[in-house]
Structure 1
Amino acid sequence: MRYDAAQKSLEISVRAYTDDLEKGLSLANDNRRFVLRNDDQNNSYLEQYLRKHFALAGPDRRLRAFQYIGKEEEADATWLYLEVPFSGNPEGWVLRHDLLMETFDDQVNMVNVKWGEERKTYLFKKSQSVQAL
């Protein structure tokens, strides 16, 4: 996650192993088979899956909607791109990131946040899928 002060938005890049993401999508969609490629027709499924497993809330605990920008295939991984309108500072904001945790019991998601010169890393796991930024 990176804050873009000029655009007043959080730019979010999520990297997941493609085969793991395909399995997660399959389980979320009645075991339908998914093959993720740059030119596939799966963006609506990915966006729906992300909305269920990735959420950002402000200090008032209201969820902030993100815009799904798209995806990009890279060797054995898939990058998913999101953007959230954002102004102010991150104090009091909360992130839920339980992507693939329903698929893999030992899933750990790492989030790197860059806010100006400040950088922080957060680890999300099944027992700790929501954290204050």
Structure 2
Amino acid sequence: MKLLVLFFGLFFPDLHPFHSSVTEMSYNVKDQSWEISIRLFQDDLEQTLSSATGKKFRMIPGDEASEKGLESYVRKHFGFRAGKQFSTPYRWLGTEQQQDAIWVYLEIPTTADLGGSYLENSLFLDEFDDQTNLVSWSFQGEKKSYLFRKSQEVQQLSR
């Protein structure tokens, strides 16, 4: 199996065997804010936004049109719920490219922990049947992880 993965990695470098995003959320006590970083595969991002907009999308960090397109998509697919009300109470800080990934940076200024809130993470779930979105958060030394996939797009955050 490892040989097969190596073969595909050498001869088809743009392909990867799974579709996944990873989100890290940590509470900064000093700044009283949640700091959020989301790692997305650039090829998955471009394919998804091309499908969503009906035109070829190319992510270029720092490019205003690319950033606005990505921000609009993220706000639609990553957010919080209090009861049944969906909201995205975060500040968009920007993006950064690292090899084959795009990092998205967000911030939620608040003195409250997010326990009891609902998090929606449906990033790329409309594009890839095997998409998984891992979210890990830490609050004052406590850590939790959640796995989002089709039919599990919204989960309650607990402490």
| TM-score relative to the length of structure 2 | 0.77
Over 3 Å counting, the alpha-carbon distance change for 1:127 and 1:59 in structure 2 is closer
User: In structure 2, how many angstroms separate the alpha carbons of the residues matched to 1:7 and 1:72?
Assistant: 22
Q: How does 1:1-133 map to 2 (within 5 A)?
A: 1-30=25-54, 32-41=55-64, 42-58=66-82, 61=85, 63-133=87-157
Q: Which moved more, 1:116-125 or 1:86-95?
A: 86-95
**Conserved 8 A contact 1:58-1:64:** no
**Distance in 1 of aligned mates of 2:87 and 2:81:** 4
Structure 2: 5+ residue stretches without partners: 1-24
Deviations 1:40-71 (A, max 9, x none): 23111011001110011346856242111110
Q: Distance in 1 between matches of 2:85 and 2:139?
A: 20
Query: As a proportion of its length, which structure holds more helix?
Result: 2
CA distance 1:46–1:119, change in 2 (3 Å): same
Moved over 3 A (4+): 58-62
* Alpha-carbon spacing, 1:58–1:4, altered in 2? closer, same or farther (3 Å): farther
3-state DSSP of counterpart to 1:13: strand
SS at match of 1:39: coil
Q: Percent identity?
A: 39
Distance 2:86 2:60 in 1: 34
SS of corresponding position for 1:44: helix
CA root-mean-square deviation: 1.6
Compared CA separation, residues 89 and 40, structure 1 to 2 (3 A): closer
SS in 2 for 1:89: coil
Residue identity matched to 2:79: A
Q: Is the 8 A contact 1:65 1:84 kept in 2?
A: yes
Any idea what the Cα deviations from partners look like across 1:74-123, whole Å, max 9, x if unmatched?
A: 00110001111222222211100000000101110000101110111110
Count of residues paired in the alignment: 132
Q: TM-score, normalised by structure 1?
A: 0.91
